[in-house]
Amino acid sequence: MIDQKLHDFIIKMPKVELHLHLEGSIRPETAMALMKRNRVNPLPKKAEQVRNLYRFEDLAGFVEGMRTVSNNIRYLQDLSRIATELLEILAKENVRYVEFDCAVQKYLMLGFQLEDVIAAIDRSVQEAQSRHRLQARLTINLQRSLGVESAIDLVEAIADLDHPLVVGVGLSGDEGKYEQALFRRAFDRAAELGLHRTAHAGEAVGPESVWSAINDLGVERIDHGTRAREDEELVQYLIEKQIPLTQCLTSNLKLKVVDSIQDHPFGDFYRLGIVVTLNTDDPQVFGTQLNDEYLLAADAFKLDETDLSRIVLNGVQAAFLKDSDKEILMRQIRDELQHLQDGSVRVQG
């Protein structure tokens, strides 16, 4: 157990969140409201009944639970509501910068236009930024199951839209069924068009998935990367090239990527010098928040205030921001962390 002083430091400290799916952030109360409107039968009547949908034994069960809830997003105002509620939670946790992703292809298939989907989310972002010390950006989730041509078309559309909220693209879905290399053309085009790039890798599949994300897709960071530990050469490469890993402890535990928190490589990765960050992945699905991830890491890996501050700053380093904006954010968060460590300020959300 960590002491009260470290606990309080974690709760108050400024944070960065880089691996967060909008569709995994639907509050149970909101899910019930959407299901009621959509006349779902049987209709959950209590939050616990929604949470029961997220009780799974494997990845297939996780995907099914996510689909059961997120398929109730039918209108643009649903996206705005979910984004608004998510950003409110993040602000209360003293998150100063977040990059969350959205499965935009889902809504294009419902008949919405890309610019309208982004505008709906941006309204929530602008409102949150006007009320809180919070910056938010969006990455667009390319879904493996929808194929490479769909991914390329979306990359082109994102670049044509050129919306300041959107900073890049990511790749998610079944690593085993849809290899990274299949999406080389989409990621090559994203790079040509100036979009940042990340991909889920080293979660359900071993280090070969991480190597492929780096070599075939040219990603700038890796979502998860947990199984990179199985390849010492890869670990050394990640250290040398400073390729960030957006790690999600509770997610990895719930999806049985690791057997226990003591088995998770996060602590080793951090101490070896890999640029690791802490994130929630799908907070409502996994029953976690960012404060929880920091508390868990501090306890499991014996991290102190200096360690935790370094991990937060890793998040700034890994952010898909312009260098000038990144420098400003780095300075602001570093100053806030220093003041907090000195005990000279009380950080407010």
Identify whether the C-beta of residue 142 lies closer than 8 Å to the C-beta of residue 170.
yes
Residue 19's pLDDT is what? 98
Residue 60's pLDDT is what? 75
Residue 275's pLDDT is what? 98
Q: Where are the beta strands (DSSP E) in the chain?
A: 15-17, 95-102, 135-143, 166-172, 196-201, 221-224, 245-247, 276-278
Domains of the chain: 4-25+89-342 (3.20.20.140), 27-72 (no CATH)
What does the alpha-carbon distance between residue 230 and residue 208 come to, in Å, rounded to a whole number? 10
pTM, rounded to two decimals: 0.94
Sequence length of the chain is 349
Q: Is 23 a catalytic residue?
A: no
Identify whether the C-beta of residue 234 lies closer than 8 Å to the C-beta of residue 208.
no
Span between the terminal Cα atoms of the chain, in Å: 25
Instruction: Tell me which of 17, 203, 293, 336 is the catalytic residue.
Output: 203
Residue 155's pLDDT is what? 98
Per-residue confidence in pLDDT tens, the chain, 349 aa: 899 999 999 999 999 999 999 999 999 999 999 999 999 888 888 888 888 888 887 777 787 888 888 899 999 999 999 999 999 999 999 999 999 999 999 999 999 999 999 999 999 999 999 999 999 999 999 999 999 999 999 999 999 999 999 999 999 988 888 999 999 999 999 999 999 999 999 999 999 999 999 999 999 999 999 999 999 999 999 999 999 999 999 999 999 999 999 999 999 999 999 999 999 999 999 999 999 999 999 999 999 999 999 999 999 999 999 999 999 999 999 999 999 988 744 433 3
Q: Tally helices (H) and strands (E) across the chain.
A: 17, 8
Residue 344's pLDDT is what? 47
Place of tokens 């390329």: 152
What does the alpha-carbon distance between residue 257 and residue 245 come to, in Å, rounded to a whole number? 15
Residue 310's pLDDT is what? 98
C-beta atoms surrounding 258 within 10 Å? 17
Identify whether the C-beta of residue 97 lies closer than 8 Å to the C-beta of residue 315.
yes
